[in-house]
Amino acid sequence: MRLYRAKNYEDMSIKAASILAAQIVTDPNSVLGLATGSTPELMYRNLVEWYKKGYLDFSGVSTYNLDEYRGISGTNEQSYYAYMMKNLFSKVNIKEENTHIPDGFQEDTRKVCKEYEDAICQAGGIELQILGIGNNGHIGFNEPSDSFLEDCHCVNLAESTIQANKRFFEKEEDVPKQAYTMGVGTIMRAKKILLLASGKAKADAVEKLLNGPVTPQIPASILRLHPDVTIIADEEALVNVEEMKI
Ligand code: F6R
């Protein structure tokens, strides 16, 4: 596991975009796993800027998003589909048919999850998976629990996640209570993983990810068992972590 200390959110975002850009340049047909949320927003803006300058070509790239709220359609502006369109897909030359997000409006959980897992497998697996981290240590929407769930599944969102995500919605009641998410196994099968963390709210989770036991109570802690994980965290997210050699 490699840990890079970033000075702040901007520095973290440039470093993260550089790693993603290098992946696309070295393998123009890359299969990427993508995250939503506040953390990667500026990383996506950097990638869009570099695309506009002609440095990047997304025409061969395929993407699989980590998760989607259950019960909202892609036309809902809080859906992760809408987030991805707004922040990346509509601004670069990625082919629509190469972008994949679990269908939040489909009620048949088993069908959605099996098809999503199969599609990732048929694409040859994810080469580089981008992750954020929840305040409670979740990755994707794998919430703290008694066991690690392997494959794509439907999850009841933890109260702390609903509280953390209500800032994106008009009213707390509007926050969906369920989501489809890649499982911990889906994430761990990615060849390379890049986890980003910014801000004080993530400090506890990041410290436990780095120093605590590997436990499904802190789902991100399983990343310590993956052979190729890079973490880029800013100073605020690392306040509880002593200076480490990188
Ligand atoms: C988003 C996702 C979540 C977020 C996490 C952090 O697709 O899977 O795990 O990465 O909740 O969210 P932010 O970045 O909004 O703090």
Give the pLDDT confidence of 150-192 residue by residue, as tens digits. Answer: 999 999 998 988 998 898 888 888 889 999 999 999 999 999 9
Residue 99 pairs with which residues in a beta bridge? Answer: 63
**Confidence band of 208 (pLDDT split at 50, 70, 90):** very high
Give the pLDDT confidence of 74-117 residue by residue, as tens digits. Answer: 889 999 999 999 999 999 999 999 999 999 999 899 999 999 99
| Known active-site residue 118 | no
Neighbouring C-beta atoms of residue 225, cutoff 10 Å: 10
Mean pLDDT, the chain, whole residue set: 95
174 token code pair: 């509007």
Any ligand 1 atom below 6 A from CB of 43: no
- State the distance from the centre of ligand 1 to the C-alpha of 82, rounded, in angstroms: 15
Which residue has a Cα nearest atom 12 of ligand 1? 37
Any ligand 1 atom below 6 A from CB of 140: yes
- State the distance from the centre of ligand 1 to the C-alpha of 163, rounded, in angstroms: 13
Catalytic residue among 46, 65, 87, 136: 136
The residue whose CB lies within 8 Å of the most ligand 1 atoms, and thus the one to mutate among 12, 13, 36, 84, is 36
CB 240 within 8 A of CB 200: no
| Known active-site residue 138 | yes
Any ligand 1 atom below 6 A from CB of 139: yes
Given this model, what pLDDT does residue 172 score?
87
Residues 214 and 139: their CA atoms lie apart, in Å, by: 14
- Is the pLDDT at 215 greater than 90? The verdict is yes
The three-state DSSP-derived secondary structure of 22-55 is HHHHHCCCCEEEECCCCCCHHHHHHHHHHHHCCC
Q: Which residues contact 52 (CB under 8 A, 6 or more apart)?
A: none
- Is the pLDDT at 67 greater than 90? The verdict is yes
Residues 67 and 107: their CA atoms lie apart, in Å, by: 15
Which residue has a Cα nearest atom 10 of ligand 1? 132
Any ligand 1 atom below 6 A from CB of 67: yes
| Known active-site residue 10 | no
Note the helical H segments in the chain. Answer: 9-26, 41-52, 80-87, 109-122, 159-165, 184-188, 203-211
Given this model, what pLDDT does residue 164 score?
87
Residues 227 and 113: their CA atoms lie apart, in Å, by: 26
Catalytic residue among 46, 65, 67, 165: 67
Any ligand 1 atom below 6 A from CB of 35: yes
| Known active-site residue 136 | yes
Residues 139 and 171: their CA atoms lie apart, in Å, by: 24
